[in-house]
A = this chain, B = another copy of it.
Amino acid sequence: MKISVIKVGGNIINDEQALASFLDQFSALEGPKVLVHGGGKLATAMAKRLGIEPKMVDGRRVTDADTLEVVTMVYGGLVNKNIVAKLQAKGTNAIGLTGADANIIESDKRTGWEIDFGFVGDVRKANASPIIGLLEQGITPVVAPLTHNGEGQLLNTNADTMAQATAVALGQAGHEVSLRYCFEKAGVLLDINDDNSLVPVLNPQKFEEFKAEGVVADGMLPKLKNAFDAIDASVTEVWLGKVEGLLSKEPVGTKIVGS
């Protein structure tokens, strides 16, 4: 099967119009597909309304029990189910999932760091077979950024990593997978403020150069590491860019090329 795995971030989730436009384009995308969505700011806003203070340790955000409750409600319920209902209205037979559902993504509670991140999970394993079973039924999985440890515990999990693990598992199961990370930039940019400075193809050598030169930094680093891990594992193609570029028939953005 040729499968598209589309990751969409919080900036699109947060913006009603951007989300509507994304869902139109996602719905129009042909062939079997999987959507992995980030959380967005709704959880922070909901936590604030509930009087739950963001818990930071050494400048890092920690998912305590109250915060886990909020992200389970907001990501797994409010955001995920509204996306599903909207996709249904567009004729896409969506099904909303966390990693716990049909056991598609298992994780381990993060340990071994100097700080305790709380209920945060690092992906242990994505299981291709339930996802393929759904795709074969013409059903489109819509995955929220939550996983489980197999012992009854839900865990807050990075959506980029979940998308990568899903794409890799589908690739390893023998499918041709196109993984596309949609975010607010046109792709990897030589000048972060200039969409015209797009790097159309990025290979590991150039990535190392860009890191050394500071062309890529901050949030782009883990995103690109995910992208290279995917292409080096089993994923046929990996792209980064804006929704309108990546969801067109011939993707426009930065194409990641393996070593």
Contact = CB atoms under 8 A, between A and B. Distances in A.
Interface of A: 46, 49-51, 69, 72-78, 80-82, 84-86, 88-89, 93-98, 100-103, 130, 133-134, 137, 139, 146, 148, 150-154
A257 B76 CA distance: 40
Contact of A148 (B85, B98, B130, B137): B85
Contacts of A146: 81
Instruction: Report, nearest first, the 7 A-B pairs whose CB atoms are least far apart.
Output: A77-B77, A73-B73, A89-B152, A76-B77, A73-B77, A85-B100, A95-B102
Nearest to A20: B152
B89 A150 contact: yes
Contact of A86 (B46, B89, B134, B152): B152
A78 B103 CA distance: 17
Contact of A152 (B78, B85, B102): B85
Among A76, A102, A150: residue with most chain B CB under 10 A: A102
Contacts of A80: 76-77
A85 B139 contact: no
Contacts of A69: 78
14 contacts: A72-B77, A72-B78, A73-B73, A73-B77, A76-B80, A76-B81, A77-B81, A81-B101, A85-B153, A88-B100, A89-B152, A94-B100, A96-B100, A102-B139
A157 to B, nearest CB: 13
Contacts of A88: 100, 103, 148, 150, 152
Given A73-B74, A85-B153, A85-B154, 5 more contacts: A75-B77, A76-B77, A88-B150, A96-B98, A96-B101
B81 A98 contact: yes
A46 B84 CA distance: 23
A197 B33 CA distance: 55
A130 B93 CA distance: 10
A134 to B, nearest CB: 8
A61 to B, nearest CB: 20
A73 B78 CA distance: 5
Contacts of A82: 72, 154
